[in-house]
A and B are shown apart, each in its own frame.
Chain A
């Protein structure tokens, strides 16, 4: 096993253990080891990337993890094109977030704890992407869930934070329920959980079926849909999206790293990694495309009305993740991973920008109290603008290239739902531009709407915060340049690089089609930006008028379509009262306990009655005896 590859995950692991146990005594210096470790990890990841580019792949086992009968699973690493891209995304964003946190978390209680958790997360995420088998992926999958749980609940004395952490964990468990059944089915089909032999023999399941409880499914469809359950949980797709907005209870750097750039994209990574399986099932691809499309629109329409700046960005994350799933669903995996890559930078930038604003506003997150921050926070302003332009798909920026590739691929895809996905995707491109600039204008332009005290304290964030913003802004602008399509004179390098892992759909749109689609989506984005400018800068009374005109739609969006309330009323509360009234009170206490305690009671009563027979009176005993003798004589008579 090459050393650099081992160092990538294990440096953060070491830094976690060290900081967790020793960090408290180090006080404000406890951030040093985690930062150095993650930077070294980044260095190794870049090295790994160039190794892959030079054709050096790695697929090696470290040791045998579990062995039982014919089932053997190792801990092992796989380094290929897809892994190398993920390594770069994870370690680069993680490095910047680590540095940023020095400023953001300054003076917080549990400073060392925060950094140790960040390291734990980085380790887990790296194990997830580096594994060469499904079980190690699952290890990383659950471990990032744990880190997320710990970091969402970082301010654990706040009930809402503790609730949110728990919710994230449990909702993810629901997805994992499907995921782990998918693993079992894979094992039943292939006799192994390691990627290489599975993907090498994937064709052998193409024509097979799986029957469970009388339902017969195509085997690839069954496996793909079960795996996708896990992806829906981790990547917050409908109907398992409810945990992600609540996860914003965690400190903002966490939202940027875990709940935007890296962990939530694990579901996309899973689908991309398993593309040979998904390719065998048109049904599964259609399901993914449709789930992606609906989630895309659903989340975007919620983002329209939210006033908590982090929630707006959170819903936009759900919506953007849905774009990635649309890409996977229409078979354009490399486009999906491309969007994962560009999104990581512009979304992390948006979140960290929010964090910078929150710092300036003394932990005020409601956009109603902001406005006109431009002149106080120039660096935050400009970097936020670049990120907003990128997410809105303005030509030249990172988001433009990846989003347009997805939309073009969806349009020409043979997957049935492709056209539908294209339509939704283009519509949402406009909505995205609108809500992004709504947020942008409300924060930075117009008059300041907060208190005088808040106004007096407005300031640009320190360098340790703004430098990561500027570095991310470079990514938010340039990350797309790795995959400039041929129609714009590029080489489409991105797709070519990933082609060995992600089958490349060679049905390309013609240049004319691609150009037209591009113009449509850019127009949608431009319209969104203009509308936001009109509604929130030009005539600020307009939003209120629309609200009054469509109160129902407004309330639906503001209250997130009441999904949490529906789940509470239909699942959680019924379950709790079922538990209390049916299982505990009826079955356990009234039924089983009564039977158990009832038997001795009956015995007691019977023996109490029997005791009366032995009353000590000789005359009674003589009578019993006489009766007995008569009975026996009768019996003998009857038998003879």
Chain B
């Protein structure tokens, strides 16, 4: 490939942001239009990835590799495989929607807002493309700054607290990861090349230390229980676009980190830590679900539901078999789409009502019927109704984890009941029940807002009905990953204990005598 497409994808939004800086501050309209054009072009640029991607190989594609800092063997090394490629597309799409949803709701420092958003986009895509650990770390930290600004400048009343908490939480995790990266560099032959690092074997003790070092960074990002408490605050205080990008992309970075680094580089540690990871995921699923029942704040509820849903993702990833890992990756996309869409919807509602208290709502379905329909679809996708994308992800994760450890699936499946409970309860309290007369004159959705929703609606049904279009990207890469981790392309051996009944079994005998004799 002659065009360095990944470099283009990373730096085009950055460049767009810089150009945006040059536009006069007074000309708010131009700033918005320009930002939208940049994000749309960026999305168009990502499309060739999708069409020219070779699904038959696990090797990195669209590779760019240049020496950068020779002294430490640091390279500018980019590439995509079946695990990362879809997230680049998703990032580009989500950014467009974030710009659309912020069109009217951002009133102060408009230019700076859109610049931050575009810089964030560049950094996010950089994270997914990096194959050099050092480069990865730079992009990883670079994401933090625009996100910190998005929350801290354009957020709600407690924005400084939330932004600081978000920043510190993530930074502490990242620093531990940095220590891990340097250790790997020293032990792994003075290289930051992720693929080369993954090709070596390290003693188990070292692997375990590094595993927990990486865990600190990734688990905070996911967020896994018990390091999740930054998320509700960040979500609640962030502006709509901030919540959307946080839910859709940023927290996926944690799960992506496990897939890209922890698992292939530290396979023995991954295997031996499978159980603790599964247990933490289960706690996240159940804990995050139950806590939603006590929420009185709209955004806080969805934030905690993310803890539960991301528990499914990490459960799938660490259940270590084909279905669970593919389901986990798909669920990362699904959660991005669905929770992103839910935050878009909440953003639109909040723009009109300026309250996040659930009890202030009621009967909105008759006042905003189109929004109610969209929101219902997102709710249903969130609870995993078959036909929507949420079902495919949860089904594959649960099926896979059942094959690995049936009891794990047993506990995780209870999350489906709790999920239906809090989501439908939320929906009822906002859209059903007697109308709150405060919202009599509420503005209906306009065309811009409906267009913002459409890509999400299409993705929900598309992935729900034709998931293979997504899964086919992953098959080979996931098989390769599982082979690296477990030595087997289909993952760990089945943990379903089926045995032959030795004793004379009165049970089936009776039934057979009853009916089968004369059949």
Do A and B actually bind? yes
B395 CB–A CB distance under 8 Å: yes
What residues of chain B lie closer than 8 Å to A156, measured between beta carbons?
Answer: 363, 365-366, 431-433
B57 CB–A CB distance under 8 Å: no
B284 CB to nearest A CB, Å: 12
Assess whether B407 is in contact with A212, with CB atoms less than 8 Å apart.
yes
B337 CB to nearest A CB, Å: 17
Assess whether B293 is in contact with A207, with CB atoms less than 8 Å apart.
no
Whose C-beta in chain A lies nearest to the C-beta of B405? Answer: A212
Assess whether A209 is in contact with B499, with CB atoms less than 8 Å apart.
yes
Within 8 A of A (CB), among B470-519: 471, 475, 479, 490, 494, 496-501, 505-516, 518-519
Q: Name A184's contact: one of B365, B399, B514 (CB within 8 Å).
A: B399
What residues of chain B lie closer than 8 Å to A67, measured between beta carbons?
Answer: 468, 471
Assess whether B417 is in contact with A281, with CB atoms less than 8 Å apart.
no
Which bracket fits the contact residues of B?
35 or more
Within 8 A of B (CB), among A477-512: 503-507
Q: Give Cα A389–Cα B461 distance, bound, in whole angstroms.
A: 47
A286 CB to nearest B CB, Å: 9
Within 8 A of B (CB), among A321-359: 331
A278 CB to nearest B CB, Å: 8
Within 8 A of B (CB), among A212-253: 212-213, 216, 218-221
One of B25-33, B146-154, B321-329 contacting the partner: B321-329
Within 8 A of B (CB), among A149-203: 149, 153, 156-159, 162-163, 166, 169-170, 173-174, 176-177, 180-181, 183-185, 187-189
One of A48-56, A135-143, A369-377, A629-637 contacting the partner: A135-143
Assess whether B499 is in contact with A68, with CB atoms less than 8 Å apart.
no
Within 8 A of A (CB), among B359-413: 363, 365-366, 380, 385-387, 391-392, 395-396, 398-399, 402-403, 406-407, 409-410, 413
A285 CB–B CB distance under 8 Å: yes
Q: Give Cα A188–Cα B495 distance, bound, in whole angstroms.
A: 10
Q: Give Cα A180–Cα B412 distance, bound, in whole angstroms.
A: 12
Assess whether A180 is in contact with B428, with CB atoms less than 8 Å apart.
no
Given A142-B386, A166-B425, decide whether A69 and B287 contact each other with a Cβ distance below 8 A: no
Assess whether A282 is in contact with B395, with CB atoms less than 8 Å apart.
no
Interface 1/0 per residue, B268-300 and A, CB below 8 Å: 000000000000000000010011111100000
Q: Give Cα A427–Cα B265 distance, bound, in whole angstroms.
A: 69
Number of chain A residues close to chain B: CB under 8 A = 78
B226 CB–A CB distance under 8 Å: yes
What residues of chain B lie closer than 8 Å to A544, measured between beta carbons?
Answer: none
A587 CB–B CB distance under 8 Å: yes
A80 CB–B CB distance under 8 Å: no
A249 CB to nearest B CB, Å: 12
Assess whether A279 is in contact with B515, with CB atoms less than 8 Å apart.
yes
Q: Name B515's contact: one of A64, A146, A177, A331 (CB within 8 Å).
A: A331
B303 CB to nearest A CB, Å: 12
A208 CB–B CB distance under 8 Å: yes
Interface 1/0 per residue, B290-333 and A, CB below 8 Å: 11111100000000000000000000000001110011000000
Assess whether A166 is in contact with B435, with CB atoms less than 8 Å apart.
no
Candidate in B386, B403, B475, B505 with the most chain A CB atoms within 10 angstroms:
B386
Q: Name B323's contact: one of A68, A177, A279 (CB within 8 Å).
A: A68
Given A176-B416, A209-B499, A282-B510, decide whether A584 and B291 contact each other with a Cβ distance below 8 A: yes
Interface 1/0 per residue, B321-356 and A, CB below 8 Å: 111001100000000000000000000000000000
What residues of chain A lie closer than 8 Å to B323, measured between beta carbons?
Answer: 68-69, 71
> Interface majority SS on A: helix, strand, loop or mixed?
helix
A280 CB–B CB distance under 8 Å: yes
* Contacts between the two chains (Cβ within 8 Å), count: 216
Assess whether A281 is in contact with B416, with CB atoms less than 8 Å apart.
no
Q: Give Cα A183–Cα B287 distance, bound, in whole angstroms.
A: 26
B283 CB to nearest A CB, Å: 10
Assess whether A66 is in contact with B392, with CB atoms less than 8 Å apart.
yes
What residues of chain B lie closer than 8 Å to A221, measured between beta carbons?
Answer: 507
Q: Name A69's contact: one of B291, B326, B410 (CB within 8 Å).
A: B326
Assess whether B387 is in contact with A170, with CB atoms less than 8 Å apart.
no
Whose C-beta in chain B lies nearest to the C-beta of A278? Answer: B511
Q: Name A177's contact: one of B380, B413, B421, B479 (CB within 8 Å).
A: B413
Assess whether B402 is in contact with A579, with CB atoms less than 8 Å apart.
no
Given A180-B398, A188-B496, A279-B516, decide whether A206 and B471 contact each other with a Cβ distance below 8 A: no
A9 CB to nearest B CB, Å: 13
Within 8 A of B (CB), among A581-624: 583-584, 587-588, 592-593, 596, 600
Q: Give Cα A503–Cα B511 distance, bound, in whole angstroms.
A: 13
Assess whether B519 is in contact with A188, with CB atoms less than 8 Å apart.
no
Assess whether B322 is in contact with A600, with CB atoms less than 8 Å apart.
no
Q: Name B402's contact: one of A188, A213, A587 (CB within 8 Å).
A: A188
Given A157-B435, A206-B508, decide whether A211 and B497 contact each other with a Cβ distance below 8 A: yes
A467 CB–B CB distance under 8 Å: no
What residues of chain B lie closer than 8 Å to A207, measured between beta carbons?
Answer: 500-501, 505, 508
Whose C-beta in chain A lies nearest to the C-beta of B403? Answer: A188
A315 CB to nearest B CB, Å: 25
Given A69-B326, A146-B380, A162-B433, decide whether A220 and B424 contact each other with a Cβ distance below 8 A: no
Assess whether A69 is in contact with B321, with CB atoms less than 8 Å apart.
yes
Q: Give Cα A430–Cα B116 distance, bound, in whole angstroms.
A: 75
Assess whether A583 is in contact with B287, with CB atoms less than 8 Å apart.
yes
Q: Name B428's contact: one of A70, A71, A163 (CB within 8 Å).
A: A163
Assess whether A503 is in contact with B508, with CB atoms less than 8 Å apart.
no
Whose C-beta in chain A lies nearest to the C-beta of B409? Answer: A184
A464 CB–B CB distance under 8 Å: no
Assess whether A174 is in contact with B490, with CB atoms less than 8 Å apart.
no
Assess whether A210 is in contact with B508, with CB atoms less than 8 Å apart.
no
Assess whether B416 is in contact with A177, with CB atoms less than 8 Å apart.
yes
Q: Name B287's contact: one of A169, A174, A587 (CB within 8 Å).
A: A587
What residues of chain A lie closer than 8 Å to B506, measured between beta carbons?
Answer: 282
A247 CB to nearest B CB, Å: 15
What residues of chain B lie closer than 8 Å to A279, measured between beta carbons?
Answer: 511-512, 515-516
Interface 1/0 per residue, B87-129 and A, CB below 8 Å: 0000000000000000000000000000000000000000000
What residues of chain A lie closer than 8 Å to B465, measured between beta carbons?
Answer: 65
Assess whether B519 is in contact with A503, with CB atoms less than 8 Å apart.
yes
Q: Give Cα A503–Cα B407 distance, bound, in whole angstroms.
A: 34
Assess whether B366 is in contact with A157, with CB atoms less than 8 Å apart.
yes
A317 CB–B CB distance under 8 Å: no
Candidate in A169, A183, A221, A507 with the most chain B CB atoms within 10 angstroms:
A169
Q: Give Cα A587–Cα B288 distance, bound, in whole angstroms.
A: 12
B229 CB–A CB distance under 8 Å: yes
Q: Name B518's contact: one of A218, A220, A507, A587 (CB within 8 Å).
A: A507
Q: Give Cα A170–Cα B424 distance, bound, in whole angstroms.
A: 9
B364 CB to nearest A CB, Å: 10
Assess whether B518 is in contact with A169, with CB atoms less than 8 Å apart.
no
B60 CB–A CB distance under 8 Å: no
Assess whether A68 is in contact with B417, with CB atoms less than 8 Å apart.
no
A26 CB–B CB distance under 8 Å: no
B414 CB–A CB distance under 8 Å: yes
B434 CB–A CB distance under 8 Å: yes
A575 CB–B CB distance under 8 Å: yes
What residues of chain A lie closer than 8 Å to B49, measured between beta carbons?
Answer: none
A432 CB–B CB distance under 8 Å: no
Q: Name B420's contact: one of A138, A169, A588 (CB within 8 Å).
A: A169
Whose C-beta in chain A lies nearest to the C-beta of B513? Answer: A414
Given A166-B428, A177-B414, decide whether A69 and B490 contact each other with a Cβ distance below 8 A: yes
B451 CB–A CB distance under 8 Å: no
What residues of chain B lie closer than 8 Å to A158, measured between beta carbons?
Answer: 434
Q: Which 10 A-B pairs have the closest CB atoms?
A: A69-B322, A414-B514, A162-B432, A139-B386, A184-B402, A580-B294, A579-B293, A211-B497, A156-B432, A282-B511
Having A208-B499, A218-B505, A414-B514, one finds 4 other A-B pairs with CB under 8 Å, namely A65-B465, A68-B323, A503-B515, A506-B518
Query: What would 23 A/B residue contacts be, using CB atoms closer than 8 Å?
Result: A65-B465, A65-B467, A65-B468, A143-B387, A157-B363, A157-B432, A162-B428, A166-B425, A169-B420, A169-B424, A170-B417, A177-B416, A184-B409, A185-B406, A207-B505, A210-B499, A216-B499, A279-B511, A280-B511, A414-B513, A575-B290, A579-B293, A592-B229
